[in-house]
Homo-oligomer: A and B are copies of this chain.
Amino acid sequence: MNSLKTITFIGSGNVATHLANALFHKGLTIKQIYSKTLSNATTLANQVDANSCTSLNDIETGADIYIVSIKDDEITNILPQLSIKNELIVHTSGGISIDVLQSFQNYGIFYPLQTFSKHQNIDISLVPFCIEANTQENIEQLVGLAKTLSENVQVVNSEQRKKIHLAAVFACNFSNYMYTIAEDILNDSKLDLNLLKPLIKETADKIEWTPAKEAQTGPAKRNDQEVIKNHLTMLAHSKDYQDIYKLITENIIKKS
């Protein structure tokens, strides 16, 4: 059961926008949206029937929970300026320690494991939420809130959350960089990434039912030295791409 009924957001970016809208549509009350940029604050506030503010001093106490959803490197700057006392406060970042919140009495992490874009709909019921908090009671409160949104709520510790974040960098940020290199190579030959999209989609889908290690295919997996040599020659114009190709190929061969 969720006991957190009134919510204030500090931040109005992609994560805040998706969370605030999703919580609003579940019938919760969004009290305030803070953003240092007025138009951002009011855009989101209008969507979720909330008040907006652009000064941290204008954030009212008394909400059941304060969700800090701003850029990682701004979190530690903003926290000392908040006049929150006993209320529960969380941030939504995978990479920032829970310790940054330890000057508060009730605090935690409310980390949705998804990449959000403002204008792209996400089925939030499928998004895993990683929960962490300073007391068992706060954990339970946050789990209750997360369960109003998602079927996949996990209580993790700081160590695990850091590992999840690191793993996500490989699985998502670095995969996307592999797509970028592919895009670059294709554009060079007047081709475009559309050609590879069904293959990219299938590669991502495949791990639904096969461990990634077993799903590995390609010249490195087969240790096909002739193809590998040809590929390295084709990459001669870009030492960066050549180095990446070489390093990942060596790794796959070593593991095969």
Contact = CB atoms under 8 A, between A and B. Distances in A.
A223 to B, nearest CB: 10
A137 interface: no
Count the copies: 2
Contacts of A185: 163, 166-167, 170
B189 A172 contact: no
Interface string A225-240: 0110011001100001
A175 B178 CA distance: 6
B169 A224 contact: no
Interface of A: 71-73, 95, 113-115, 117, 120, 122, 126-128, 130, 152, 154, 156, 159-160, 162-164, 166-183, 185-186, 188-191, 193-213, 215-222, 224, 226-227, 230-231, 234-235, 240-241, 243-245, 247-248, 251-252, 254-255
12 contacts: A117-B206, A159-B189, A167-B181, A167-B196, A172-B217, A173-B221, A173-B252, A174-B178, A174-B248, A176-B203, A178-B178, A183-B213
